[in-house]
Amino acid sequence: MINRFLSFEWKQFSRSSYFKKGIAIKIVMAFAVLYFGGMALLLGVGLYFILKKAMPEIDPMTTVNNYVLYWFLFDFMLRYFMQQLPVMNVKPLMSIPVKRNTIIYYLLGKTTLSFFNILPLIIVVPFSTVLLVQGYPVIQVVAWLISFVAITLSLNFINFLVNKNNLVFYTVLVLVATFGALEHFAIFKISEPAGYAFNYLYNTPYLVILPIVILVGLFYATFKYIKKGFYLDDAISKKVKEVSGSDLSWLNRFGAVAPFLKNDIKLIVRNARPRQVMMMSFMFLFYGLIFYTQETYRDMPAILAFASMFITGGFLMTFGQHVPSWDSEYYKLLMSQNIPYKTYLESKWYLMVAAVLLSFILSTPYIYFGWDIFGMIAAGAVFNIGLNSYLTLFGGALNRVPVELNVKAKAFSNTNGFNPTQLLIGLPKFLLPMLIFYVPYKLISFNAGLIALALVGVLGIVLKPYIFKLIEGVYQKGKYKTIAAFSEKQ
């Protein structure tokens, strides 16, 4: 039966409208995986010797155990945003004699084959091998390795259970930020008790049973969670909710784009996924604190330009990258109306511009770090409006992955929405402003870099009618491919 499931998924992939694009992206991602996998392998082999040289007075194994907690927390956050949860159209299978347990085991098996589970192995297995070569006790090293793998797989199932649970994620985020700050300012070093616990686990091999028991418990909990909603009537039933209306008549002043702006605002307010993206974009306002508080980055203004893009471009880069996927559930109906494509795209542009301006206003406390920093944020805001907004809309024409708006109640849908196309499209938005700023800065002065960054943004605003005409042409050309892709179940 597992072979048949694999056959179904291959046919679904190879017969879909995004097959060719998927092949090209997967080839690029395969090279990326090989590159990062090779770097991870080198790190695993050299980690022992790096730590031995950097801190010769401390056992490298002790150092790893002292800081492994941060690795697991970072791993969890990375999974939350980027791990592709298993996707399978199970409704047709519910009405035929296929055991539910078999399908669920297959879905859970797919999660264990994730790159996020394999990457740690590429690091810790070579590291453990080096430890054995250096004469460390075999039983202790093997028990530690098994514990590490068990905790990694536990994080995999935790992510499955709490995926898109904002309360859990932001609780973890606050804890990480708090403990990180306490550690940085030497108020309370969380690494010490955590390190003691992991070292005790290493020195007491039979305690390996604890991570294994936790892993089995989480696997069973995930299994029960999926099985609980694995019924045909549950899959097709619709929950009735009372919707509260909002007075958005003040948007009528925007003319033809007003109906679309109202629709997007209602979409954000009423649906789980857009609300989550909205909260994520707010967190980008604090991105500068990572860079502006560190003296190291003062001598790397190109990196500061990179950070400045995020402060005012959080909504643009999170919400904007899913245009037009936000409307995928009713895109066919939308495109059947007598609506100019330009009007539809302009509404998205105005929404992103408003978010950039609001973020810029909220970023005024950064004046505390100096007018140079605030000037860079201002130049970044103009650049986001005048160029990054267009790049975002252009990327939307190539991103034909549908977004299901209320993902919390869907155990078998693509609750992540991340795909490699977004990553490739997003690279110019990060690298281009750094290049535009750095060249005048290096040849002339810091202010010259800011002026160049702002001028490119102003030029983009002036040329808006011509740029929009080009973007509209791209959308028109791929209109029916987009409709077909949104109609498919991925």
Name the residue ranges covered by the structural domains of the chain. Answer: 33-236, 249-487
Which residue numbers in the chain have pLDDT < 50? Answer: 235-240, 243, 245, 408-418, 490
- For residues 150 and 72, give the distance between their C-alpha atoms in angstroms, rounded to a whole number: 12
What's the chain's length in residues?
A: 490
User: 347 in helix, strand or coil?
Assistant: helix
* DSSP state letter for 214: H
The per-residue pLDDT for 214 is 93
- For residues 94 and 322, give the distance between their C-alpha atoms in angstroms, rounded to a whole number: 31
The per-residue pLDDT for 235 is 45
Answer for the pair 392, 320: CB distance below 8 angstroms, yes or no. Answer: yes
280-293 core/surface letters (b: 16 or more CB in 10 A; e: else): bbeebbebbeebbe
CA 354 to chain centre: 23
Amino acid at 388: N
With a CB cutoff of 8 Å and minimum separation 6, the contacts of 225 are 160, 161, 411
The per-residue pLDDT for 490 is 47
- For residues 486 and 490, give the distance between their C-alpha atoms in angstroms, rounded to a whole number: 9
Amino acid at 334: L
Amino acid at 361: I
Long-range contact set of residues 136-139: C-beta below 8 Å, sequence gap at least 24: 136/61, 139/205
With a CB cutoff of 8 Å and minimum separation 6, the contacts of 39 are none
